[in-house]
Chain A
Amino acid sequence: MKLTVDGVAHEVDVEDDMPLLWVLRDELKLTGVKYGCGIAQCGACTVHLDGAAVRSCQIAAGDAEGAEVLTITGLGQPNALHAVQAAWVEHQVAQCGYCQSGQIMQAAALLENDSEPTDEVIDIVMSGNLCRCGTYPRIRAAIHTAAAKMKEA
C-alpha cells in the first residue's frame, strides 16, 4: 500500500490490520514515534494523519492508505525546528523524553486549531498524553511560548 510519510512517498507490503505505528517503526524505521501502550491510553505514538492528531497504534494500515502522515521526524529539522520543538528546547521540557514525541505532535496539532490556547484548553487537550516524569507544567509553559512565537511569525 502507498503512504506518504513526512513528505516522502512509500510503498509498504503489510497486512491491512497492522497498526500504523508498526508500519512507521518496524517497516519505515521511523523510531521517533514511540510505542507506549498500544491501546490509546498514553499518547506516546501520536502522529498527524491528514493534519489531525491520532494515536498511530489505533490506526489500521489499511485505513491510512493514501493518507499524509506527519511524524516527529518530519515536523521540523535540526536547523529549522518547529516552533513547538524550539519551545521544548527553550523550556527544557523533557526529562526522560520517552513521551515527548507524542506530546510535541499533540501540541503542534493543538496550535493549528487554537492559536492562543488557555491553560484550561491546554490541560484538556494534552491530558491524553501521559508523562510519567510529570513534566506537565513545562509542557504547558512551552505551548504558551510556541503559541506566542507562531503568532509573531
Chain B
Amino acid sequence: MKHLALCAAGLLALPVFAEGENVTITPPASVSRADGLAAWARIYQVTSHPRCSNCHVGPDNIPMWSGPSYGRPRPHGMNINGGESRIGAEFLACSTCHATTGTRANDAPHMAPQVTADWQLPPVEAHWFGKSSEDICHQLRDRDLNGDRSYREIAEHLDHDVILHWAWSPGGGREPAPYSLQEHVNDVLAWGVAGMPCSDD
C-alpha cells in the first residue's frame, strides 16, 4: 500500500502535460499578450498557407489548388466536390485517388497526396481559405467552431491527427507549411497560455 501511495505521489509530481505521440506538448508557464499575439501571427502563417487552407474551404465543399507551384488559386481540378460529408461520399470519394497508406512516398509531382489517414476536408466550421487573420483567430478560439477544443486539445489534435502532418512534408515539389509541426504546436500552446488573444480584441 505504501508503495502504491508513493507511486500516486510520484504521478502527481509529474508535469501536468506529458509527451505527445509525435511532438512534445509542454505549455509555457506564462506568456504575455504581446508574445501571444506574436505566436498567433506565426500560427496564421500556417493556417493561411496553401498546404493547410486549400482544404479548409467553405460550404461549397470545393477544395482549392493554390500555392507557388499552381500559378493562381483555382478550384481542385476534375470538378471535385467533397459534399457535405467532406469526404466526397455524395459524389466521388476523396479516397478514389487519395489512398490511405503509409507504404508509398508522396514523391511524384502532381500525384494525389496520400497519408496514413483517410483524406478529407476539415469540418466546414473550420473555413479558413481566404479569411483574415482576425477571422481565423476568432474561429480557432471559439469552442463552437473549433471542435469544442481547448488550446491544449488543439495542440493534441495537431499531434495525433496525422493528415495534418502532411502539410510539413507534402512531397512532390510542393512548398511545405512554414515552421515545423513542433514549432506550430509550441505557438498554439503559447497563444493559449496568453489567453488566445486576437489582434482586434
Please report A residues at the B interface, Cβ cutoff 8 Å: 16-17, 19, 38-41, 46, 52-55, 58-60, 62-63, 121, 123-125, 127-128
Contacts and interface: CB of A to CB of B under 8 A. Distances in A.
A24 to B, nearest CB: 15
B80 A128 contact: yes
Contact of A63 (B92, B93, B103): B103
B104 to A, nearest CB: 5
B86 to A, nearest CB: 15
B166 to A, nearest CB: 15
Q: Which of B78, B100, B109, B111 has the most CB of A within 10 A?
A: B78
B9 interface: no
Contacts, number: 69
By size class, the interface of chain B is: 20 to 34
Given A58-B97, A60-B103, 4 more contacts: A39-B109, A58-B98, A60-B99, A124-B81
B95 A54 contact: yes
B110 interface: yes
Specify the main secondary structure of chain B where it touches its partner: loop
Interface in B64-110: 78-81, 91-93, 95-101, 103-104, 108-110
The 4 A-B pairs at the shortest CB distance, nearest first, are namely A127-B79, A60-B103, A40-B112, A40-B97
Given A124-B92, A127-B79, A128-B92, A58 B99 contact: yes
B114 interface: yes
B68 to A, nearest CB: 19
B111 A40 contact: yes
Nearest to A123: B79
